[in-house]
């Protein structure tokens, strides 16, 4: 098996120096140092131009030098992206191209990369309008979440490479299950990883995982040690995503769907893939986007030969970052500080434009005040907590409702998992692993009583780590067949 692990390094352009220092000490420096130490490591990374400038600004040139050296040795590759992490499906073609070209310039300047082969859209947010842009800008491939392959997970065939219809671009899809198992720290050692990847390890296929670099050491202290253990194992060949082009053939052409790496099947069906950045029910989002369009319009009207234009344009570029929209979503992400900073960036850009009209300034101030006052009011009155709770109700549906509640063969899925967990409980008790036995006993109770929605890691994911994938799927199919064989007229199917 060939494993292409993708790490995304990102910090907002306004990140405070002390927080950046902590992230560097806990994540970035250990990861880069271990890559240097271990000659077997091959990785694909995304490091935005804005972050490279932050590293340079705060005196971390040694990290930049290390990255440049690893690129020169062809041990890592760096993808292109939007320099300031703009959500590309929601900005104009002109601004998307500018964000991508600015990032490429930064890669050339800091890492001596003339033209990256691959592209990572921030948040893996994809829309079809990006296709001609990426092809025009010379990218060979794009990395997307597997849900973009057909509106659901578990559909990607990792024995082949996918190509976008009517395009030269190839697509590499992120395996969501494995990525989430690692990110959530369910997998915390090379042994548990081997259990989770039994099917993949024994095959000649490849797999692509992708996650934030900050997961290792910063968000999850100690998890970086597991990552370093993985890099030592002989169970699979570590490769860069571009290496896969030489080992597998293009066998299928598809037109990927619009989604992000956090989108669910239900999000796609409801047409709300980009809800966290543009919620039609969120008035703050509406004002943020109107404020953005107002400011951008004034930037476009400015004389590009004016000595102040480069700085105005730079301010506008940074103001397009997706962070303040995300933190205003309240489903569940919320930060008054980031909302204010985003609104202030737009107002500051507007004020810096020479000869801007008084009407535009007043309109900008009005947007700023409405955004901030509404955000404070939502927090003060408890609306934010209510929105978060409502979102949790939508996102967290008990496993019993998702299976038994749907009827038919899906009932077999529910009973298959209960029986597999019961077997694991017996095995734990028999071998003296009483903590495991208790874990599975409690998991069964939670599934039966619909309490699994309160677990950070669902018992279903834990079971898929404990039992080989093939065995799980065979058991599910066996139970589903049993329920398919039931004819109509069963007591539970009759009307009253």
What are the tens digits of pLDDT across the range 432-488? 877 778 888 888 888 888 877 656 456 776 676 677 666 777 888 888 777 666 544
Return d(Cα 38, Cα 33) in angstroms, integer.
9
In a domain, residue 109? The reply is yes
Segments of the chain with pLDDT less than 70:
186-188, 389-397, 453-458, 461-462, 464-465, 468-470, 483-496
300, 94 Cβ separation under 8 angstroms: no
The end-to-end CA distance of the chain, in Å, is 55
* 450 and 357 belong to one structural domain: no
* 76 and 134 belong to one structural domain: yes
Domain that holds residue 379: 283-392
Q: What is the pLDDT of residue 264?
A: 85
* 7 and 111 belong to one structural domain: yes
In a domain, residue 27? The reply is yes
* 326 and 370 belong to one structural domain: yes
Q: How many domains does the chain have?
A: 3
Tokens of 150: 């057909």
Q: CATH code at 173? A: 3.20.110.20
Q: What is the pLDDT of residue 487?
A: 41
Select from 269, 418, 285 the least CA-distant residue to 342: 285
Secondary-structure breakdown of the chain: helix, strand, coil percentages, each rounded to the nearest 5: 60, 10, 30
* 202 and 246 belong to one structural domain: yes
In a domain, residue 275? The reply is no
* 355 and 387 belong to one structural domain: yes
Last residue of a domain, one of 392, 427, 458: 392
* 300 and 260 belong to one structural domain: no
Q: What is the pLDDT of residue 491?
A: 32
Q: What is the pLDDT of residue 495?
A: 35
Q: What is the pLDDT of residue 191?
A: 75
In a domain, residue 270? The reply is no
Select from 124, 188, 230 the least CA-distant residue to 457: 188
In a domain, residue 124? The reply is yes
Q: What Å distances lie between residue 266 and 331, 352, 394, 396, CA to CA? A: 15, 43, 10, 12
Return d(Cα 143, Cα 208) in angstroms, integer.
9
Q: What is the pLDDT of residue 55?
A: 97
């Amino acid at each position: 098996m060939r494993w292409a692990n993708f790490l995304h390094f990102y910090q907002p352009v306004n990140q405070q120096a002390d927080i950046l220092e902590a992230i560097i000490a806990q994540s970035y420096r250990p990861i880069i140092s271990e890559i240097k130490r271990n000659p077997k490591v091959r990785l694909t990374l995304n490091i935005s131009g804005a972050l490279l400038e932050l590293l340079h600004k705060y005196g971390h040139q040694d990290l930049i030098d290390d990255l440049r050296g690893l690129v020169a040795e062809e041990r890592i590759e760096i993808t292109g992206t939007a320099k300031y992490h703009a959500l590309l499906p929601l900005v104009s073609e002109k601004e998307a191209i500018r964000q991508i070209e600015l990032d490429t310039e930064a890669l050339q300047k800091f890492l001596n990369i003339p033209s990256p082969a691959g592209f990572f859209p921030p948040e893996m947010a994809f829309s079809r309008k990006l296709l001609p842009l990426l092809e025009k800008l010379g990218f060979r491939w794009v990395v997307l979440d597997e849900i973009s392959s057909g509106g659901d997970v578990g559909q990607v065939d990792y024995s082949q490479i996918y190509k976008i219809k009517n395009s030269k671009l190839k697509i590499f899809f992120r395996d969501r299950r494995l990525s989430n198992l690692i990110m959530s720290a369910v997998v915390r050692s090379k042994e548990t990883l081997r259990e989770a990847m039994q099917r993949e390890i024994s095959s000649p296929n490849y797999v692509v995982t992708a996650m934030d670099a900050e997961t290792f050491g910063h968000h999850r202290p100690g998890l970086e040690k597991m990552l370093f253990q993985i890099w030592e194992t002989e169970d699979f060949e570590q490769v860069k995503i571009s290496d896969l082009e030489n080992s597998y053939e293009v066998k299928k052409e598809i037109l990927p769907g619009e989604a992000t790496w956090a989108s669910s099947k239900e999000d796609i069906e409801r047409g709300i893939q980009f809800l966290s950045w543009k919620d039609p029910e969120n008035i703050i989002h509406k004002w943020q986007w109107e404020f953005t369009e107002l400011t951008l319009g004034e930037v476009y009207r400015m004389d590009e030969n004016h000595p102040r234009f480069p700085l105005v344009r730079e301010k506008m570029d940074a103001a397009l970052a997706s962070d303040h929209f995300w933190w205003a979503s309240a489903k569940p992400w919320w930060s008054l500080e980031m909302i204010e900073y985003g609104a202030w960036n737009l107002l500051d850009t507007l004020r810096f434009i020479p000869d801007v009209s008084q009407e535009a300034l007043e309109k900008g101030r009005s947007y700023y005040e409405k955004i901030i006052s509404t955000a404070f009011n939502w927090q003060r009155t408890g609306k934010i907590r209510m929105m978060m709770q409502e979102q949790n109700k939508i996102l967290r549906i008990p496993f019993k409702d998702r299976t038994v509640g749907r009827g038919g063969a899906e009932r077999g899925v529910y009973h298959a998992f209960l029986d597999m967990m019961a077997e694991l409980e017996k095995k734990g008790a028999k071998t003296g692993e009483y903590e495991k036995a208790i874990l599975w006993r409690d998991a069964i109770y939670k599934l039966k009583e619909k309490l699994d929605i309160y677990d950070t890691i669902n018992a279903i994911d834990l079971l898929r780590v404990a039992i080989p994938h093939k065995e799980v799927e065979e058991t599910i199919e066996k139970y589903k067949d049993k329920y398919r064989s039931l004819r109509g007229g069963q007591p539970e199917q009759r009307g009253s």
